[in-house]
């Protein structure tokens, strides 16, 4: 038993002393920012999107389906008012304040949930300084619209002035 344990420990020790395997050479992938801006950023007002999805508004299912087709997969850039920021596995979930529709009959709310990946320490400083109620501009790819209450941007980055 002692000899087996000694051999296992010797094997671990010797494997730690060997040269590390050479990593596979992979061509550099474009940065998140380049990926988001490689296609034109969809120029659509955030309030128009909110008005399309809030409950009780005057938009039809047909109009929401057309908006889905336009938004999902597209890059958008919007200025949002921050409600909360939470770190999640190397990115930050930035949630906007709930936004109301402009139609007097609307009663629902929509929120933006952006999974922001900081590019460097400058982005980290900005994220750490943001408070509830602060405004920030984010560019991101529309991943989904959830139950007419949340629009998810993933991936996303902060827009620098």
Do 145 and 68 touch, CB atoms closer than 8 A?
yes
Q: Using DSSP, state whether 4 is helix, strand or coil.
A: helix
Q: Name the residue ranges covered by the structural domains of the chain.
A: 32-158
Residues in a beta bridge with 153:
114, 142
Residue-level pLDDT at 22 = 34
On average, the pLDDT of the chain sits at 84
Residue-level pLDDT at 29 = 36
Do 134 and 82 touch, CB atoms closer than 8 A?
yes
Average pLDDT over residues 79-102: 96
For the cut 70, the answer to whether the pLDDT of residue 83 exceeds it is: yes
Both ends of the chain: CA-CA distance in Å? 67
Residue-level pLDDT at 144 = 97
Report which of residues 22 and 3 the model is more confident about.
3
Hey, what CATH topology would domain 32-158 get? OB fold (Dihydrolipoamide Acetyltransferase, E2P) (2.40.50)
Q: Is the pTM of this model over 0.85?
A: no
Model confidence pLDDT, tens digit, residues 132-144? 999 999 999 999 9
């Amino acid at each position: 038993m002692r000899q087996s344990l000694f051999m296992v420990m010797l094997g671990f020790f010797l494997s730690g002393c060997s040269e590390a395997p050479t990593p596979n050479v992979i061509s550099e992938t474009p940065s998140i920012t380049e990926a988001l801006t490689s296609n034109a950023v969809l120029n659509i007002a955030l309030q128009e999107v909110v008005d399309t999805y809030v409950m009780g508004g005057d938009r039809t299912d047909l109009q929401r389906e057309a908006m889905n087709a336009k938004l999902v997969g597209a890059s958008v850039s919007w200025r949002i008012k921050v409600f909360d920021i939470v770190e999640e596995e190397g990115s930050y979930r930035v949630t906007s304040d709930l936004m109301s529709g402009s139609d007097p009959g609307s009663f629902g709310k929509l929120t933006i949930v952006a999974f922001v990946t900081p590019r460097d320490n400058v982005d980290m400083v900005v994220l750490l300084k943001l408070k509830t109620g602060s405004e920030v501009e984010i560019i991101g790819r529309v991943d989904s619209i959830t139950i007419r209450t949340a629009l998810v941007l993933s991936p996303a980055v902060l827009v620098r002035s």
